[in-house]
Each structure stands twice: as C-alpha cells, then as structure tokens.
Amino acid sequence: DTAVSQTPKYLVTQMGNDKSIKCEQNLGHDTMYWYKQDSKKFLKIMFSYNNKELIINETVPNRFSPKSPDKAHLNLHINSLELGDSAVYFCASSRGAGGSQPQHFGDGTRLSIL
C-alpha cells in the first residue's frame, strides 16, 4: 500500500557507470518530482512533470534524464556517474501542480559512487 515507491532503495556503483531509479505512485496524482538531498540534508528540486509533461527543469547536468511513461511513473536515468552524484534521491507526487497541494515523498534512493 506504499503511496510513492522508489527502487532501488540503495545503489552502490562505480564512477562512469549508467544507472536508473524508478518511481511509481498509486495516489492518482498527476504531478511528480525528483529531488536531490545532499549529506547536509539540503533538498533541491531537479525535475517536475505534470500529466507527463516536463514543467520544471532546474540547473541539472544533462547526464540526468527523467522519463515519464505515464502519470503514475517518473524514472530517472543517470549517465556517466560522478563522485558528486552521491546523494539521496527522492521522488514525490502531488495532486495538481498548484500551490496548495502538498507533496508525498518516497523513502529515497541512496546512491553511493565508488
């Protein structure tokens, strides 16, 4: 019954590799997000999709490519992983992109680059 689920929970890989993180929500929301949280707990928006359309694309290296096959899924593919990509990546969703709707977060994917 998990509302926003991410896989994998942990990801340990070598520098230079390509990896993907998957996210699914069963809340019927139409807006989904990817956030990056660094070791100091700072949280930064990366991307947001509304009805499968990209609506927020922050200053993120183009090695990061989101894909939304449908409203319930938002995946994140990362090419040529670098040491600085080590972080916790959170997927979130909300009902609509409007201001009053809170976001529901997954439990995060802990990415460690060796």
CB of 107: closest distance to another protein in angstroms? 5
Contact 76, 17 (CB under 8 A): no
- Least Cα distance to 85 among 37, 40, 24, 49 occurs for 37
Q: Could you tell me the smallest distance in angstroms from the CB atom of residue 80 to another protein?
A: 27
3-state secondary structure of 83: helix
Among 11, 24, 31, 81, binds another protein (CB under 8 A): 31
Residue 23 near residue 5, CB atoms below 8 Å: yes
Choices 20-28, 43-51, 61-69, 74-82 (CB under 8 A): range interacting with another protein: 43-51
98 binds another protein (CB under 8 A): yes
Per CB under 8 A, 103 contacts another protein: yes
Q: Which residues contact 62 (CB under 8 A, 6 or more apart)?
A: none
Place of tokens 């090419």: 79
Instruction: Give me the least distance between CB of 16 and another protein, in Å please.
Output: 28
Which residues in this chain contact another protein in the complex, by CB under 8 A?
4, 31, 33, 40-45, 48, 50, 55-56, 90, 92, 94, 96-108
